Every structure is written in C-alpha cells, then in structure tokens.
Structure 1
C-alpha cells in the first residue's frame, strides 16, 4: 500500500479497521556503479524489495529516500547528505508516523555507507522524542544473501539484470577488485573495513569503483537472490520479537 497514493479516509480505515500498523522505508543512494549500472542502483533494488515486502506484510510503503552517505566514492560521482541531517530526517519521519498511529518502521537499506547513520536513529528517537526502541528497525538487504556482496559486481549486476535489464550496459562493464578465493581474502576484508568508508576510501582500494566481477552476472541468479532476500526479510518482520 503506497502511502503517497491514498487519502486521509483510506489511511484512517486501514489503521482502524485492517490493523495496518507498520511502514516500510526504502533507503538507497545516488552514486557511481561503474559504467554499466545507473547511479540509482541501490535505490532501485530496495524499492523493489520494499514494495513486495510491504504487500505481503500488510505495511504502508513510504516514498524512497534516494540520497545517502556516499563520500567514500569520491572523486567518482555521488550525491551525499551529511549523516547528521539524514539521522534527523529519518527521525522526523518516524515521529510523524508515530503521531498518526504507526507502531513501527522498517528501513530497508541498500547502501553500505548508510549503516553508520542508521545505528544512531534509535538513539536520536529516544533522546529527542522519547520514543521506545521497538519503533525503529533497519535491515541491510545484502545481509540476507547467502553469497558475498559486492559493488557493481556479480551480485548487483545480476539483480539489476533481473529488475531493469534496459539499464544494464554490459558492453561498458569492467572487472573490478575481486579477491574471492585468495588466501588473504579474510584479512584483506578486515583491512579494508578500517578505512573503506572514509572519503575516497572505496576508490583507493578498488581503483575503478567496482568491487567484484560483473561478467559473472546472470539474470536468473538475480531473481533467485531477490526471492531469497524477500523471504528472509518477511520472516524477520513477522517474528513476534519485533512487534
């Protein structure tokens, strides 16, 4: 139920008569994804996931937030918002929803650089609005995947092939940083975690802004990944521990 398309009467009825008490907020980014994927890749993926999750869980679907914290992609293209602004922005959305009968919100996050700010939204809600910790939850969709995640590599390219094949330009694709199978893989990942989200940190390691190999991408695998993610998120949302 896309909240932007309903009226006051419909909203009130859903809250009162049909026990709609949750909302889904897709959070993405506008940032480079190589030459073969669009800037909006993260947002397009979580929009699709959020739409299906909202339908199956009977939750309101909020308009997406297209902007995130993406300074790590400098000097390649990104439109970034200061994390304090986004913490306050999401907190204001939560506070408004709470005043109108919504009991919890699930942010479905599509961008790794947003994790830091999302960790502080709950604290902000408590200190500014005295809202309980059982109102706000966030889910990083890639953590629902059984395969390792990447950036404009096999995973994201497969998913975009499944969702928006017209936006995928494999004739422009390049191989990026790919450490799968290397003996030092685990240690290297630990090392990159120390500074990869610093301004220009991502490009420092990947050189061309791509993590992974998009030439291994497959649309059918992308559909399987999406089904897997949606199934796991739904399992989380209906778990009574989060009610």
Structure 2
C-alpha cells in the first residue's frame, strides 16, 4: 500500500490494530554517466520498494531522494551529509514511535545508494531492541531493518554499468543507450589495484578519479529483459528476508 492512499484516522487505526511493516526507500541525486538520469538510484529503489510492498502487503513511504554522494564531485551530486541523513531518519523513526503503536511497527529502510550504507548501519544499531536512548526504551521501534537492494541479487553490482542500466531500461524510458560508454572494469585489475580503487571510490571526489567517465562497468549490452529478471530476483529475495 502506498502512503498516498492513506488518511490520518485510517493510518493511526491501522498501525494500532495489527503489526505493520513500513518501507522507507532512500536513494540519491548523482551522476550516472551520460546515459542515465541523475535520479537513477532513487528511481530504482522506489520501484523495488513499491513492488515489495505490493508483494508482501507492506506500506511504502515516499522515497528520501537525497543521499551522501560527495564521492562524485566534481560531477553532479546533490548531497546531504552523513549526520543530516542520520538525523532525518532518527526524526522519522521517533515520530512513528510517538504514534503509540507500541511494538506493532517494523520499519524497513531500503537503500539504493552505496554512499548511504555507513550511516544506515548506525541507524540499525541505534534502534536495536531494548536499548534505552534519550530516556526511552526503544523496544517499540526495536524492529528496524536496513537493506541495500543489490545484496539480494547474484550478479556483481556496478554503477551505471550493465546492472543499473538494465534495471533502468526495465522501469524507465529515460535511458539514452546511444550515449552509453564503457567505464572502469575492475576485473582487469590486480588484487592490489582493486583494493586501492575500491577505497578511492568512497572518498570525496574519488569516483571520477578512478572511472574518468563516472561509469563502473560496461552498460553497452544492457537490456530491458535482464532488468526485469534482476527486479524479479531482488524483490523475491527481499520478500523472503523481510518475512523471515
């Protein structure tokens, strides 16, 4: 169920009557080569969250479309700091707890951007069950789960490469395949080079330095068919995890 289908009295009654799961998708605004929109991370995670909600009967909230993307400087990024992302999520989660839903809400934070991962791991720890924080027992929000969607697929993930481009082809008409160009192919590097490149990619301004064109992988053979396959796999595996 999408949050835009819910009204105040009904929503409050719903979360107090039985256990509910709320998905909060998080993406980013950042460069994805010359062929994908700067909203790619947010577009993909929004679609996955919507499909997961429909499959499992969850409630999906609007996507937080801004993330921690300073690694893409000086290429396009509309970033928020790690502290601000953490504060935004803290506020949302605490406000849900203050609705007095007791232990009836599970919150799934569904991540669509690698740069958000460090902050999100802290959120999961912060809202661990039976920890007293700010003078309150967090058991009511003790069931906060954080998932990055690419952990639920077998294929090696990328950035504006084969996987992300295929996913976008499956959900959007904004892909410009004629502008798709091969980027960094990490498999061709030595183990030491791979380790160095991986570290640089997360540093401020590091991603363009190692990829040159902002692409990690090769998007040129991406297809809508592969994107649909990846989507089905991700949603299927996420559903199993969320319902376990």
Partner of residue 221 from structure 1, selected from 218, 226, 230: 226
Deviation at 1:183, TM superposition (A): 6.3
Alpha-carbon distance between aligned partners in 2 of 1:192 and 1:179, rounded to the nearest angstrom: 8
Residue 207 of structure 1 aligns with which residue?
212
Deviation at 1:134, TM superposition (A): 3.3
Residue 115 of structure 2 aligns with which residue?
113
Deviation at 1:45, TM superposition (A): 0.5
**What SS does the corresponding residue of 1:78 show, helix, strand or coil?**
coil
RMSD: 1.7
Summarize the alignment of residues 1-243 of structure 1 with structure 2, pairs less than 5 Å apart.
1-17=1-17, 19-100=18-99, 101=101, 102-125=104-127, 127-128=133-134, 130-132=137-139, 134-164=142-172, 166-180=173-187, 182=188, 184=190, 186-239=191-244
**TM-score, length of structure 2 as denominator length:** 0.90
Deviation at 1:156, TM superposition (A): 0.4
Alpha-carbon distance between aligned partners in 2 of 1:111 and 1:227, rounded to the nearest angstrom: 19
Deviation at 1:223, TM superposition (A): 0.3
Alpha-carbon distance between aligned partners in 2 of 1:161 and 1:213, rounded to the nearest angstrom: 15
Structure 2 gaps of 5+ residues are none
Alpha-carbon distance between aligned partners in 2 of 1:208 and 1:130, rounded to the nearest angstrom: 48
Structure 1 gaps of 5+ residues are none
Aligned length: 235
**TM-score, length of structure 1 as denominator length:** 0.90
Deviation at 1:209, TM superposition (A): 0.6
Task: State whether residues 158 and 216 of structure 2, in contact with CA within 8 Å, keep that contact through their aligned partners in structure 1.
Answer: yes
Alpha-carbon distance between aligned partners in 1 of 2:25 and 2:87, rounded to the nearest angstrom: 16
